[in-house]
Structure 1
Amino acid sequence: MELQDPKMNGDLPAGAVGCRQEREGFLHSHNSAPGRKSAEFMDFEGKTSFGMSVFNLSNAIMGSGILGLAYAMAHTGVLFFLVLLLCIALLSSYSIHLLLTCAGVVGIRAYEQLGQRALGPVGKVVVAMVICLHNVGAMSSYLFIIKSELPLVIGTFLEMDPNGSWFLNGNLLIIMVSVLIILPLALMRHLGYLGYTSGLSLTCMLFFLISVIYKKFHISCDVGHNETAAESKSPPVHPIQGLNVSCEAQMFTVDSQMFYTVPIMAFAFVCHPEVLPIYTELCRPSKRRMQAVANVSIGAMFCMYALTATFGYLTFYSSVEAEMLQMYSQKDLLILCVRLAVLLAVTLTVPVVLFPIRRALQQLLFPSKAFSWLRHVAIAVILLILVNVLVIYVPTIRDIFGVIGSTSAPSLIFILPSVFYLRIVPSEVEPLSSWPKIQALCFGVLGVLFMVISLGFMFFNWATGRSHVSGH
């Protein structure tokens, strides 16, 4: 059942009067005059076109998770992976539907504000902490890419072995990049270059996809394995029980690493904190129009993810690593350009991801305090130290994808939107026994089960040492 559009003249049920009052004056009209009705959420006319909104939301979806999708396919099989990816995409679209419905009821345009409206001050704290956790995970994944790729790029330019020089140590390089590049950018009060960084990131990932497809037809399976192993001087990959180690694609595979795959896919589709701000800026905003933006964006990213995973897997098969760029030759000029593009994109994106964490922490810990440069700098420094320590001691990017994908991703995609819908939509509009409310409840339960099962199997693998069987 569709909720009534607030722009229409129809009345909401009596129990929703409070919701109408919350909408009043939420977004102020530029031409407000005495005696004129206050502008409501849906009356606000943004200036962003449909196409640009799709671009912005697609960029919010796109992230470092794309590098781990071929690894996910290697541990599920081609068909099983594509089915799981499609399910995650559809569920992500449904969760955006829940968010837009809640925003239309109460006129709220921020994820944290929905949390406060649904659960009070505790809800705002919970939502802010979940978003912080997810962004810390995103920062960690970006720095891990710098840690693994920057030594290869510098070693290629200097014609040196990255494993034989102390100044090409990945841990040292991420500290230097954090201090010399990321920290100065993170100390800015405003992110004026955000739009340029967003466009650059999406362009780099498109370049990455095109290169993966191109290389599939220029690297044989055996050559790809032997060349990479020889250059990295790493031990050969050991066969994994139940996993195909030949140059043949498996349609369906189940092994102990499979429980990392769904969290990686969930991590790759998280964009929900950005949905409502994009909704607010959309030209001629309506729930249906914004849902169309979400569907087009998710559909485009599904195609991009599916192509990247499929061609990456069909290049390296069962030996593909959780960070797929590691599989390519260090001397390949095209891959060198890809590495440079990805490094530039992730380096400039880390400060962008740090900003909402700092804003959330300031609102939670110092809500009534005026701006302070000391506090502004201290939070940035502490966050960067925390993330650097995390990246230095976490063995693989797969663990970052797995943990964040099993905690913050199901919370943002499944659990919180369903809780918001159950708590915010008035019972007079949708009774608790109605099919939409039952769907939302089942959706939230699915998220809890997904979180518990994924974390349980990952902790079991860590405890038994099986997480290192693959050698990644």
Structure 2
Amino acid sequence: MELQDPKMNGALPMGAVGYRQERQGFLPSHNPAPGRKPAQFMDYQGKTSFGMSVFNLSNAIMGSGILGLAYAMAHTGVLFFLALLLCIALLSSYSIHLLLTCAGVVGIRSYEQLGQKALGPVGKVVVATVICLHNVGAMSSYLFIIKSELPLVIGTLLSMDPEGYWYLTGNFLVIIVSVLIILPLALMRHLGYLGYTSGLSLTCMLFFLISVIYKKFQLGCVVGRNETAVGSNSTLGPPIQGLNGSCEAQWFTVDSQMFYTVPIMAFAFVCHPEVLPIYTELCRPSKRRMQAVANVSIGAMFCMYALTATFGYLTFYSSVEAEMLHMYSQKDPLILCVRLAVLLAVTLTVPVVLFPIRRALQQLLFPSKAFSWPRHVAIALILLVMVNVFVIYVPTIRDIFGVIGSTSAPSLIFILPSVFYLRIVPSEVEPLFSWLKIQALCFGVLGVLFMAISLGFMFANWATGQSHALGH
């Protein structure tokens, strides 16, 4: 349901007036026109404070992508990585600016509805498909973490070698967790208390960051082997520290794996489908206030990502894996606690991610049908089976980050917001060849190039076998 500002009456000229009132630039001025009341996003006034909105959007940004950032730094270099991360953060903030501008024109509060307003029914289908693809990728990354980390945790607690018992293998355990824990939660009709797991997830990732920093100072440089790969019956010696040239940071480097790293960074900043719902709930909603929420959230996540990547890379250097948590000792008590915390967070987050996929599928495939338990259950089962099969056969989490980061991430961050802006902002206000629309067009073209180049190099790696040769 589209929520229209009554002052607009659904007409573009009045929308143009609302747009003029709402548009205050990417870094908006604090001096509204004299005698004019600033335009509001909609009549509905949310009750969520500025601080809580920052927390909610930070939760939406934070995800499993943080585990792959040290790998991204290893294949770009410290300075190049930080520069790329900053660019993606700034571009993500600009993208939110485009979304908020479009929302200010038409008074719509959902990503899918903006797609319908910009491109008609086809636009709604395209947007819903992209969001479903991204959430399926997020579910896959969470289940892959369960697949790779749960055997290590159980093996450590039981003093058993996970490789020696079929019921401790990752593929078996991820199916058991999906059936016994995730499926019952996914069958709930409403999210309810599951919405609070986003806070748990952010807390766990903060714990992960603190542990990564602490372990850097405790271990120094760890090169030469991955202790988790050593059997439980072997004697684990002290970490190998500073024995060769591997313990030297690369400030700038380019290799074939770099085309996995940029999608990993893009994947880590996707939050755009949640921006407009958070905007709706914001107390005293305005474009300036919501842009400030976005800037603070993205800035905080940039700092967290940069610290995690830097300290993780400076611990393992070029030997770091795409799933950094897998690099630490299986028998370290602190890392065991981190693994347990991360496993709890991702297990409880999978049903939360599944809900919007099922809602989108029901709206697309059964828009006029009443709620049906058989359909509700069937969609959840099909999604979980599909994602489990995907996770079982994908060799590394890097491939999940790479594919989703090269397809849905540039679509949600670059391409769709620019299309919305070009189609929704009235030509009476911004002519087609105005600087702002040319800027938005270039932004969308950048997203298309980013998608094409990343996918092209990944497919080339798969075709030549480099992906499997470098996989862990």
TM-score (norm 1): 0.90
Shift of residue 15 of structure 1?
Answer: 4.2
Aligned to 1:125: 125
> SS in structure 1 opposite 2:70?
helix
Question: Is contact 2:15–2:105 with CA below 8 Å preserved after alignment?
Answer: no
Provide the C-alpha distance between the structure 2 equivalents of 1:347 and 1:307, rounded to a whole number of angstroms.
25
Aligned match of 1:36: none
Tell me the secondary structure at the aligned position of residue 42 of structure 1: coil
Residues of 2 paired with 1:284 and 1:144: CA distance?
Answer: 40
Counterpart AA for 1:439: Q
1:319 equivalent in alignment to 2:319: yes
| Native 8 Å contact 2:228 2:328 kept in 1 | yes
Q: How does 1:114-263 map to 2 (within 5 A)?
A: 114-222=114-222, 225=225, 227-231=227-231, 246-263=246-263
Using the TM superposition, give the Cα deviation of residue 269 of structure 1 relative to its aligned residue in structure 2, in angstroms: 0.2
1:448 alignment partner in structure 2: 448
1:360 aligns with 2:357: no
Give the deviation of 1:162 after TM superposition: 1.1
Q: What's 1:464 paired with?
A: 464
Q: 2:273 aligned with 1:273, yes or no?
A: yes
Q: 1:463 to 1:327 in 2, by over 3 A?
A: same
Aligned to 1:435: 435
Aligned 8 A contact 1:69 1:264 in 2: yes
The alignment's TM-score, normalised by the length of structure 2, stands at 0.90
Distance 1:232 1:119, change over 3 A: farther
The answer to whether the Cα contact below 8 Å between 2:223 and 2:319 also exists between their aligned partners in 1 is no
1-side partners of 2:12 and 2:290: how far apart?
26
Whether 1:98 and 2:98 are equivalent positions in the alignment is yes
Could you tell me which residue of structure 2 aligns to residue 237 of structure 1? Answer: none
**Equivalences for 1:390-401 in 2 at 5 Å?**
390-401=390-401
CA RMSD of aligned residues (A): 2.2
Deviation per residue, 1:387-428 (Å, 9 max, x gap): 000000000000000000000000000000000000000000
User: Take 1:340 and 1:14, find their aligned partners in 2: how far apart are those partners?
Assistant: 54
Residue identity matched to 1:16? P
1:42–1:286: 8 Å Cα contact kept in structure 2? no
Shift of residue 437, structure 1, vs aligned partner: 0.4
- AA of the residue aligned to 2:43: D
Alignment of 1:65-104 (within 5 A): 65-104=65-104
Q: Name the structure 2 match of 1:309.
A: 309
Alpha-carbon distance, 1:20 to partner: 8.4
Q: Aligned equivalents of 1:318 and 1:456: distance in 2? A: 24
- 1:20-41 deviation digits (Å, cap 9, x = unpaired): 89xxxxxxxxxxxxxxxxx974
What residue is the counterpart of 2:58 in the other structure? 58
Going from structure 1 to structure 2, the CA distance change for 1:351 and 1:368 (only over 3 Å counts) comes to: same
Equivalence for 1:108 = 108
Q: Displacement of 1:197 after TM fit?
A: 0.3
Percent same amino acid among aligned pairs?
A: 88
* Contact 1:245/1:317, CA 8 A, preserved across alignment: no
Distance 1:418 1:402 in 2: 23
2:418/2:441 contact within 8 Å kept: yes
Q: Which moved more, 1:63-72 or 1:460-469?
A: 460-469
**Runs of 5+ unmatched residues, structure 1:** 1-5, 22-38, 235-243
Output the amino acid matched with 2:452: V
| Cα contact 1:212–1:311 (8 A) shared by 2 | yes
Give the 3 Å change call, closer, same or farther, for CA 15–360 of structure 1 in structure 2. Answer: closer
Matched, 1:337 2:337: yes
Q: Is the 8 A contact 1:231 1:329 kept in 2?
A: no
CA distance in structure 2 between the partners assigned to 1:194 and 1:84 by the alignment:
34
Query: In structure 1, what is the equivalent of residue 349 of structure 2?
Result: 349
Query: 2:64 and 2:84 mapped to 1: Cα distance?
Result: 19
The question of whether the paired residues in 1 share the 8 Å contact of 2:16 and 2:428 is answered with no
Residues in 1 aligned to 2:179 and 2:11: alpha-carbon distance in whole angstroms? 57
User: How far off its partner does 1:222 sit?
Assistant: 4.0
Query: Amino acid of the residue matched to residue 197 of structure 1?
Result: T
SS in 1 for 2:225: helix
Pairs within 5 Å for 1:384-423: 384-423=384-423
1:311-355 CA deviation, whole Å, 9 max, x = no partner? 000000000000001100000000000000000000000000000
Q: Which amino acid aligns with 1:314?
A: L
SS of residue in 1 equivalent to 2:315: helix
Q: How many Å apart are 1:13 and its aligned residue? A: 12
The number of equivalent residue pairs is 440
**CA–CA distance in structure 1, aligned partners of residues 141 and 382 of structure 2:** 18
Shift of 1:470: 2.6
CA shift in 2, pair 1:199/1:180, >3 Å:
same
CA contact (8 A) 1:13 1:429 kept: no
Distance in 2 (alpha carbons) for counterparts of 1:245 and 1:61: 36
Unaligned runs of 5+ in 2: 19-38, 235-243
